[in-house]
Amino acid sequence: MFIQTEATPNPATLKFIPGVPVMTRGTANFEKAEDAGRSPLAIGLFDLDGVEGVFLGGDFITVTKGAGKEWDTVKPLVLGVIMEHFTANRPVIESDGQEGEQADEDGVVMQIKELLDTRVRPAVAQDGGDIVFHGFEDGIVYLRMQGACSGCPSSSATLKHGIENMLRYYIPEIQEVRAVE
């Protein structure tokens, strides 16, 4: 198994591409080890000294290291955990038996989600992250940056100048885009 790595705009985060599907549906963001309960892969990564965040995308994994750690030390350990996980054929996420809820959505929310899915998420995924819709209220779209994009120095500029302008162009009801922590 050959695992590629790519730098991201966030110097504390590296993108690992194992060459096999990681998530078959959606994404998963783990900001601390306690959140990783359903993911054997994330648990294995958090067991490494220096790993402070794990994000699972469709075909990639981003790992965020702690401030006092160097990638020269952490990267080989991360590669080992990822390789061992996939060669052992373990699940990335263990199913809890529940299907996701389908909420009734109005036309504007459906348009926002469609634009995010087709125009924004693929570009953000190239940098090792994701953007998640959290709501639309009183003309304000609430989004959460995940993976390499969370804490990235350029994420607020991307959110305000790129995503906000694009959404406002296509959907006049939108006045502003705000980040959700």
pLDDT at 100: 42
pLDDT at 41: 95
pLDDT at 162: 84
State the Cα–Cα distance between residues 133 and 143, nearest whole angstrom: 5
pLDDT at 105: 55
pLDDT at 96: 57
Indicate the CATH number for domain 107-179: 3.30.300.130
Each domain of the chain, given as residue ranges in start order, spans 4-87, 107-179
Identify which of 80, 170, 73 has the alpha carbon closest to the alpha carbon of residue 118: 170
Long-range contacts of 89-97 (CB under 8 A, 24+ apart): 90/40, 90/41, 91/40, 92/22, 92/23, 92/28, 92/39, 92/40, 92/41, 92/56, 93/23, 93/28, 93/38, 93/39, 93/56, 94/38, 94/39, 94/40, 96/38
Which of the listed CATH numbers 3.40.1280.10, 3.55.40.20, 3.30.70.3040, 3.30.1370.70 matches domain 4-87?
A: 3.30.1370.70
pLDDT at 99: 43
pLDDT at 103: 44
Tens-digit pLDDT profile for residues 59-85: 999 999 998 999 999 999 999 999 999
Spans of the chain, pLDDT less than 50? 97-104
